[in-house]
């Protein structure tokens, strides 16, 4: 029996998967990936992402404004995000965050958008899904400032930042998610950061269609490949694969409690 795992972050609405979702979901099941959370990065596209979750039983979804789109998309509202969260398969707020690698010129609007998403996460009780790139200091500061205003749950999706931001996030009770980046040969420093984290605060993901782990690196990623990242995670934590998979399931269920509690109506 293949141990079940969850792809906690993918983008099934992207053109890379058009017309193939039945097969993609079937491939995932064969690899033991029994659930996936598909992420809407532009709120005007939420209906399409919601439809994917409605159509495919193993798929849940989240929605927010990606920081790289913050300057080009209408500003999210707390009330609007809370309204979206009424859907039974809407399980997280985001992704949101800060990206100064490509879009540093929009730092101010990114920060404003981030704080709105944090407020929505706080009010709904759903986990915040954070994208952080080249913005470690501002990210740690804002997450901490906002936590002081009221607790909220959070996952640092596709974590590839520095050790200081990892410690800041973990100190707030947040989670770190391993993507295919953690499997790359040159990512030993990142693996060391994960190894220093509590294993009960680790999730796994693909960020598909991006960042495919070996042996698929350089090609389109898909949720089935979460298994490759999870196997590397088991090595990082010196655990049997089945035990690591089970731990990440517990972690996902604890953080994404709405997904864990979801049942199909009779």
DSSP string across 29-68: HHTTEEEEEEEESSGGGHHHHHHHHHH-TTEEEEE---GG
97's CB contacts (< 8 A; 6+ apart) are: 66, 67, 110, 114, 130, 131, 132, 133, 135, 139
pTM over 0.95: yes
Neighbours of 189 (CB within 10 A): 10
Residue 194, pLDDT score: 98
Using the structure block, give the residue that is written with the tokens 């690591």.
244
The structural domains of the chain, with segments of one domain joined by +, span 5-261
Using the structure block, give the residue that is written with the tokens 């979702």.
21
Mean pLDDT in order along the chain per 10 residues (266 residues): 96 97 98 98 98 98 98 97 98 98 97 98 98 98 98 98 98 98 97 98 98 95 98 98 98 98 81
* CATH architecture for the domain at 5-261: Alpha-Beta Barrel (3.20)
Provide the 8-state DSSP code for 258. H
Neighbours of 173 (CB within 10 A): 13
Cα–Cα distance for residue pair 107/98, rounded to 1 Å = 7
């Amino acid at each position: 029996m293949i141990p079940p795992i969850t792809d906690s972050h993918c983008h099934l609405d992207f053109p890379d998967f058009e017309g193939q979702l039945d097969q993609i979901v079937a491939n995932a099941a064969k690899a033991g990936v029994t659930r996936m959370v598909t992420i809407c990065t532009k709120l005007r596209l939420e209906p399409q992402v919601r439809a994917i979750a409605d159509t495919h039983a193993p798929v849940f979804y989240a929605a927010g404004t990606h920081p790289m789109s913050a300057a080009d998309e209408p500003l999210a509202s707390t009330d609007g995000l809370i309204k979206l969260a009424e859907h039974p398969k809407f399980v997280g707020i985001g992704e949101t965050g800060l990206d100064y690698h490509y879009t540093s010129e929009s730092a101010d609007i990114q920060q404003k958008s981030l704080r709105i998403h944090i407020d929505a996460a706080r009010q709904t009780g759903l986990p915040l899904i954070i994208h952080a790139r080249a913005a470690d200091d501002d990210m740690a500061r804002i997450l901490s400032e906002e936590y002081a205003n009221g607790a909220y749950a959070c996952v640092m999706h596709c974590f590839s930042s520095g050790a200081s931001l990892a410690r800041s996030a973990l100190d707030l009770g947040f989670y770190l998610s391993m993507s295919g980046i953690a499997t790359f040969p040159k990512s030993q420093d990142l693996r060391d950061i994960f190894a220093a984290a509590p294993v009960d605060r680790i999730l796994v993901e693909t960020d598909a269609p991006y960042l495919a782990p070996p042996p698929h690196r350089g090609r389109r990623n898909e949720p089935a490949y979460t298994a490759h990242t999870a196997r590397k995670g088991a090595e990082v934590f010196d655990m049997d694969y089945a035990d690591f998979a089970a731990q990440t399931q517990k972690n996902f269920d604890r953080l994404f409690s709405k997904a864990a509690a979801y049942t199909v109506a009779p």
